[in-house]
Structure 1
Amino acid sequence: MQTNLWSLVETGLKERADGVAFIAGERRIPYAEFADLCRRTETWLRAQGVGRGDKVGVWLVNRVEWLALFFALARIGATLVSVNTRYRSEEVAYILDRSGASMLVLQPGFRSIDFAGILAGMDAAQLPALRTIAVLDADATTPATLLGRPVVPFAVSVCEPAPAADTSDAEAPVVFFTTSGTTKGPKLVVHPQRTLVQHAWNCARAYGLDQDGAVFLAMLPFCGVFGLNGVLAAFAVGAPTVLIETFDGPQAAQLLLTHSVTHTFGSDEMYRRVLDTVPGERPFPAARIFGFGAFTSSFGAYAREACARGVPLTGLYGSSEVLALFSAQPMDLPVEQRIEGGGVPVAGMAATVRIRDVETGALLPPGQSGEIEIGAPSVFPGYHNNPEATAEALLPDGFFRTGDLGHLRGDGSFVYETRMGDAIRLGGFLVNPVEIEAVLKRFPELVDAQVVAVDIGGQTRVVAFVIGAPGAVVDADAIVARMRAQVAPFKVPARVWQVDAYPVTLSSNGVKTQRNKLRDLALARLADETASVGT
């Protein structure tokens, strides 16, 4: 099996050059047209000085240009630094600095996203490696510079296609994904071309994307493994991918029907927004597999109701480190088991899932809960420039310590139960509360902040408890407004409450805040709000 990313394009050109690779609105993009776009993009990148080993930040919604940049950078031997479009100045600056990106590719704006405005809130001096900013859809209003760097238009239509030969290294880093870290900023997960290509083929076969009539809807953002792995799997075997620039429930429901979509993957909240718009039995008659990641604790009952309506939901498992869609529950399982996270690895016998007792370190038999450890072809080689975190995550035998709790079933499949640590799922992304707290602690009127997650209106939201500086006035609304300007929307606290001190416990390692008691306090305050509204 070929392991270079470009081999997926070559296979498409050989077997289905005129076949539809992507559907974007009214536009149908054949494999041959996409290959031409990739080669022109490669020519443009080289003209901008991008070469082997360079890092390029891509900060775009789900456009075909995102994918063209990915394949073109792979051919060059450069690395795509994936930047979430929901990130704001604090997070974008951190990722660009940490990765050493020499170029950032963005678009002028999209709906409520003001890319240039977010850049304006960053400190240019903190980005010494950044040389150029490239803008899609540039026009007369596009500034000549941003962050003091020259702005160049992403103008690939005038470029000649690059030569067909691909000389890239399948083991060289091709993409950096972000994942929550133990410090204020996320870690950068490295993946070479090999893991992505092998995983694409495994996913395509395991999920039946290689079957006649398969059509895939890309609901999730390409900037994360959950979104990118799905589209690569469909692309590998010729299942047309329907693109949504950013997720919208009613729009997704319409596309599912219009294009007779058979496969899609998303979060539990996404499925709520899709299914609530379409009543009745078998709302999507073409559907074969609708895989989901359960990021809220309240989805079980809804999933059972959806399955009773004929929606083929199945639970998934994955992470940036082992790639998303790593496993899925078999469709022939009873519904109660099918909607649990986990399942059977798509790599089959090449993957091993084991459970280790967190107290004794012993490997556990089926039915007993412990930390999930994974050995598989899709396991990442490490975190970028972070050997300490890599050594902590990867065991000497190559298994990845997931930090998740789960158990094996008697048939060899596994069940994901919950995270071991304090990390929480927000907006479909795993977030360490420390990331949010670090931003809050820089506000001059605050001396400390603690963040916990609670259920508000059926969604997991964060709330913040803060301690004010002596004599300072703490304005909760003003703090929330400033957070909106600095972090992704899903990280903005739904409530900010000032307290004099936190509940703590003393241990051999020092004083630790009791987050469980803060969570209880948050629930009590929310209940008081509800009661006061009702009186």
Structure 2
Amino acid sequence: MPGAGSVKPRAGLWRRGRGGTMMAGMARPATLPALLETTAARNPRGAALPGFDWAGVAGAVRRIAGGLAAAGIGPGDRVALFLPNRPGFLLLLLALARRGACAVLLNTRFRAAELAPLLAGAQPKAIAVARDFPAVDADAILGSVPPEARASLRLAIGVDALGEGALAGLPVLPFAALRGADEADRSTPDADCLTFTTSGTTAGPKLVLHRQRSIATHAQDVAARIGTAAPGAAFLAAVPLCGTFGLAAAMAALAGGAAIHPMERFDAAAADALIRREGVTHLVGGDDLLLMLAEAASGRPYARFAFTGFANFHGNAERVMAASAALNLAVRGVYGSSEAQALFALQDPAGPHAAVGGGTPASAEAAFRIAEDGELLLRGPSLFDRYLGDEAATARARVEGWFRSGDLAEAQPEGGFGFLTRAGDALRLGGFLVSPEEIESFLLAQPGVTAAQVVALDGRAIAFLIPGAAYDEAALHAACERSLARFKVPARFVTLAEFPTTDGPNGRKVQRAALREMARGAR
């Protein structure tokens, strides 16, 4: 990547016009409490969370904020949310925002070694847990975190029905006890709101801090773009809310007044039944999640969706688009990150690039440009404030007012951009810079190839494959030689039962760094 001060536009500056991005007749709330109260006033009896309408959500949040105040949690404090997708997650997040406190969002798949540096860096006063969530033994996991890393914690909040108790030596405040008097709104647009955790696939995980304004305004921009204010709109929260992919969509549902149906753990059959029973219209997910849902649907189409945003984590875009057409899922590629928020950009579902991550920004105030080396640079109201406790990383991420995404992209003739790959994953082959997805998509179209990942070693492509019943390496190599430039033809094909992956807050991702290590070890 170019150094600071050397970024030049390759495709010029692109900015959306101002029409059509804000919800008609609405003011622009700049905090989450103001956004919630606006939705509750506009749609008080609309379905919100299971057991709640929007007026009920607003009332519960005011009372929970009162309980937080009584527990000594106030403006500037941080509270870690180590919770699955359940109504209490969103209620507590909104109540913390009302208190002017900051939520530190933690993936429930994290264990002690991953939690320790995050807790040490964030210094939360409390941690919210679900002791009845069978996938997580919160007491054992937190107890395994070194005491110095969790020294800031004063109490645990049990977002469950188990009552009082203790957790790793901390007193547990039951969620049911967080029902104080209605608390005044202490939020401000510039107050710290929440942190996401980066995946750490290319470097150590970082805490990405957003202020209230960025979360609230982005929610409204996305709501207007994907239609969550439409009568009967309903969002299936199947992706973890601790990550930006799930949370940005949920906040857009809140901004529009759509019903939100959280799933603690994704189960394709249960999701299929819920979609049909509740009339779900909005969904986000990775390609693996959507293909599991399609299998559970068994070819039975849904009532037409308004929006399904998908991330092509595993190179299955063509299969996802075919499933979308068969099931009425209205799938389109989207783009985002913890720093810019998910759904920063969205493709036109009827356009030629619907299967590609990227598109045009959701916000009228957002802009992008592409540097000479192909890196995507972003600007707009949805961007993060800083990496918590890491001023050097914050400075490196910005140049001349632009956020350096670390992604390679290309401008699309119709407007917007298309994501190519992470800059660190781009292949240098035969002196040319090549996106691995270009070769992977060709391999996936060949008989007997179920999944494909390509890395570079010594200037040559190495293909890792999950083979199917019809796999024939000689025939695959011949097809590559017939159809690909010579420098793109893989020097080796390595078959695996599965790819090495890492669990991130936005879905499971292939570890290309691990594949590169495997390629070096198999010389």
TM beyond 0.5: yes
Aligned residue number for residue 162 of structure 1: 182
Aligned to 1:46: 69
Q: Distance in 1 between matches of 2:81 and 2:246?
A: 15
Using the TM superposition, give the Cα deviation of residue 460 of structure 1 relative to its aligned residue in structure 2, in angstroms. 6.9
Question: Which one of the candidate residues 69, 83, 86 is aligned to 1:60?
Answer: 83
CA contact (8 A) 1:86 1:488 kept: no
> Per the alignment, do residues 455 and 322 of structure 1 end up closer, same or farther by CA in structure 2, a change over 3 Å counting?
farther
Identity %: 36
Letter in 1 for 2:140: G
Residue of structure 2 in register with 1:292 after alignment: 310
Corresponding position of 1:301: 318
Gaps of 5+ in 2: 1-27, 427-461, 469-496
Size of the aligned set, in residue pairs, is: 431
| Cross-structure match for 1:395 | 399
Measured in 2, the distance between the counterparts of 1:357 and 1:401 equals: 13
Query: 1:488 and 1:219 mapped to 2: Cα distance?
Result: 10
Rate the CA distance shift 1:515–1:284 in 2: closer, same or farther, 3 A: closer
C-alpha distance after superposition, 1:230-280 (max 9, x if no partner): 111111121111221221111111111111211111111110110111122
Match for residue 213 of structure 1 among 229, 232, 238: 232
Residue 359 of structure 2 is matched in structure 1 by 343
1:355-504 equivalences under 5 Å are: 355-358=370-373, 370-397=374-401, 399-421=402-424, 461-462=499-500
SS at match of 1:319: coil
Determine if the alignment matches structure 1 residue 201 to structure 2 residue 220.
yes
Identify which of structures 1 and 2 has the higher relative contact order when contacts are C-alpha pairs closer than 8 Å and 6+ apart: 2
Contact 1:454/1:462 (8 A) holds in 2: no
Query: Structure 1: any 5+ residue segments left out of the alignment?
Result: 359-369, 424-451, 464-482, 494-512, 526-535
C-alpha distance 226-63 of structure 1, shift in aligned 2 (>3 A): same
TM-fit CA distance, 1:217: 1.2
Structure 2 residue aligned with 1:262: 281
Alpha-carbon spacing, 1:47–1:183, altered in 2? closer, same or farther (3 Å): farther
Counterpart contact for 1:453–1:461, Cα < 8 Å: no
- SS of the equivalent of 1:9 reads helix
Question: 1:15 maps to what in 2?
Answer: 42
Partner of 2:517: 518
Give the CA deviation at 1:515.
7.0
1:431-451 deviations in whole A, cap 9, x for unaligned? xxxxxxxxxxxxxxxxxxxxx
In the aligned structure 2, how far is the partner of 1:216 from the partner of 1:122?
Answer: 35
Indicate if the aligned counterparts of 1:36 and 1:161 stay in contact, CA closer than 8 A. Answer: no
For residue 290 of structure 2, give the secondary structure of its aligned residue in structure 1.
helix
Confirm or deny: 8 A CA contact 1:314 1:338 kept in the other structure.
Answer: yes
**Cα offset, 1:490, TM superposition:** 6.0
Q: Which residue of 2 aligns with 1:328?
A: 346
Quick one: distance in 1 between partners of 2:160 and 2:232? Answer: 34
1:226 aligns with 2:245: yes
Assess if the C-alpha contact under 8 Å between 2:304 and 2:330 holds in 1.
no
Aligned counterpart, 2:173: 152
Partner of 1:506: none
Partner of 1:361: none
CA offsets 1:266-318 (integer angstroms, 9 cap, x no match): 1111101101111226x112312211011112x02312321441432110100
Cα 1:488–1:265, aligned 2, differ >3 Å: closer, same or farther? closer
Name the structure 2 match of 1:509: none
> d(CA) in 2 for partners of 1:205 and 1:196?
15
Cα 1:385–1:262 change in 2 (3 A) is same
Is the contact made by 1:454 and 1:460 (CA closer than 8 Å) also made in structure 2?
no
Hey, what's the Cα distance between the residues in 2 that align with 1:491 and 1:342? 18
Cα gap change, 1:377/1:252 in structure 2, threshold over 3 Å: closer, same or farther?
same
Change (3 A) 1:154 1:457: farther
What SS is found at the alignment partner of 1:125? coil
> What TM-score results when the alignment is normalised by the length of structure 1?
0.75
